[in-house]
Amino acid sequence: MPRYADFYRQSIDDRDAFWSEQSRLIEWQTPPRQICDYSNPPFAQWFVGGRTNLCHNALDRHLARRARQPALVAISTETGTERSYSFAELHAEVQHMAAVLRCLGVKKGDRVLIYLPMIAEAVFAMLACVRIGALHSVVFGGFASGSLAARIEDAEPVLVVSADAGSRAGKVVPYKPLLDAAIAQSKHKPAAVLMVDRGLAEMPLQPGRDHEWALLREQQLGAVVPCEWVESTHPSYTLYTSGTTGRPKGVQRDTGGYTVALAASMKHIFSVADDGAAPAGVFFTTSDIGWVVGHGYIIYGPLIAGMTTILYEGLPMRPDAGVWWSIVEKYRVTHMFSAPTALRVLKKHDPQWFGKYSVKSLKALWLAGEPLDAPTAQWISDALQVPVIDNYWQTETGWPILTLANGVEPQVSRFGSPGKAMYGYQIKLIDDTSGQELTSPGHKGVIAIEGPLPPGCMQTLWRDDARFVDTYWKSLAGRLIYNTFDWGLRDADGYHFILGRTDDVINVAGHRLGTREIEECIAAHPQIAEVAVVGVADALKGQQAMAFAVARDSAALDSDAARLKLEGEVMKQVDSQLGAVARPSRVHFVSALPKTRSGKLLRRTLQAIAEHRDPGDLSTMEDPAALQQVRELAGR
């Protein structure tokens, strides 16, 4: 087995030979004539001249060997339903959807906006789009009308695919009124809307524009829609991520580079061995298709690798805190991918749920979405008795920047670190003032990546090359280098540690402090389950840290005296580990922290409330009621 250090070095020093080898992991109609064209930095074109299709690599090429193997298992604890689709069945359903898209006027290069819950039809729609060369733009189901309108206006889809409703914690969330309001607000009006009726809410159809999926599907039964072979550089999709200006950024992904990157990651990072005969395993990602993890590791990555993938609609503790582990046992899940926030939720429940179900099939648990604190990592590692592997990446990169490539060489996780630089990513730590590279271990700098970005990363921002260059490539002391906007440091063994966003740095009386460092310190207290730290404007010091924390035993904080005692202990701990300058002005105890539906803490929202400002768009929030307690506490 090769050493990972040598594997990584080849990917940097002999880039074209390295990625030429990886390109053999997928099927091409026409092989590429050039591996990487970087003649116009920072724009990289991968596998130039090659023609392929993402849907072909996810489905068609497996039919000869895996037609009867389960490809997709759609589970909803919200509606109490489960349905398994073999590769042959999924292939047929995708062709039904592709035929419907075409009859509604969708052509190669057109955009299709998908606004659906976690249901099988969402998978059909995504695969059908790339099958015919259309671009999908998935918007998280239940987004508020204003946010949805902004995405419709930017993507200019010819078709929107939606449903009557989603469901969250047993509460029906009607989609059609939100969609109708969004289209009314948008300057762009899609020519058609395709609706999936789940029977959860009323779904009034607008004559001439709206169509029912079930009826059109019936008309296309048995349809044969061949894959549209596209250039490697042909866009596969756009996915919107938040912009600092409030205008969403449409991350644009190519086809060939993305397919190769995912295929390589399944082999080298997730250690999926495909011998062509035995099932490659079962992949269970607890994310949502509206986020980049859902695109890569619910749908495309596992299917490209010939695995069974699980699509889950529901919460991690409904009907009980053992639901995920029951799925692991029932479907013999081999690979699981989740988020630290979800684990911290489970951590507050009775550990007996881990003993109720067998997780012996599980080879490892991967985590991403936000930094993984060491206590949570140790807790879940002890509970599952399998490797826990953190990883760090972004919507913009499409696959991990930092993790462990155990498929190349087994390595040991270091809790608190997402791991080492992945092959293809030439990572630098940059001094944000001078622009100089920091090469000595232990020095804090901005994590940056020398161009070209490896295959699978964003090509550009949708219809905005100038914003792509200015935002990502020209924001670090005049250097043309990709800025992740995250602080980090690297130890002597090459393990990186994420210290928080560069815009989460607070300045207390001239001292620059990372809120992530303060959070880590507070989270180490045995009575703290979860914490968020924000910088709050202060007339004397410029800013002060303020903490909002969830206690492990909230019942023990039933008096002001108990809360003040724990607050004092937390402040003393910060004093002793980081110094008095890092001590929060207050530690407010709340029952829950406000988060997005993908589990990310809304730190900017907390900061706005603490500073008595408008918190802005809260459409992505999981539980708006969580803000009320914050408002009351911060207003004291």
pLDDT at 143: 77
Domain ranges in the chain are 88-223, 509-634
Start-end of H helices in 160-310: 176-185, 213-219, 256-268, 292-294, 301-304
| Tokens found for residue 299 | 């749908």
Task: Considering only residues 422 and 320, tell me which one the structure prediction assigns the higher pLDDT.
Answer: 422
| Cβ proximity of 342 and 286 under 8 Å | yes
| Tokens found for residue 274 | 């495909």
| Residue 557 to residue 230: CA distance in whole angstroms | 60
Would 88-223 and 509-634 be classified into the same CATH topology? Answer: no
Q: Which fold has domain 509-634?
A: GMP Synthetase; Chain A, domain 3 (3.30.300)
| Residue 341 to residue 339: CA distance in whole angstroms | 5
pLDDT tens for 116-168 read: 999 999 999 999 999 999 999 999 887 778 889 989 999 999 999 999 999 98
Classify residue 459 by its DSSP letter.
-
pLDDT at 57: 98
Burial level of 633, CB count in 10 A (0-12/13-18/19+)? middle
Q: How confident is the model at residue 371 (pLDDT cuts 50, 70, 90)?
A: confident
- Reported CATH class of domain 88-223: alpha beta
pLDDT at 626: 65
Residue 245 has pLDDT above 50, yes or no: no
Residue 243 has pLDDT above 60, yes or no: no
| Residue 404 to residue 384: CA distance in whole angstroms | 19
β-pairing verdict for 159-163 and 111-115: parallel
pLDDT tens for 191-206 read: 999 999 999 999 999 9
Classify residue 153 by its DSSP letter.
H
Percent of the chain with pLDDT over 70: 92
The pTM of this model reads 0.85
Residue 388 has pLDDT above 50, yes or no: yes
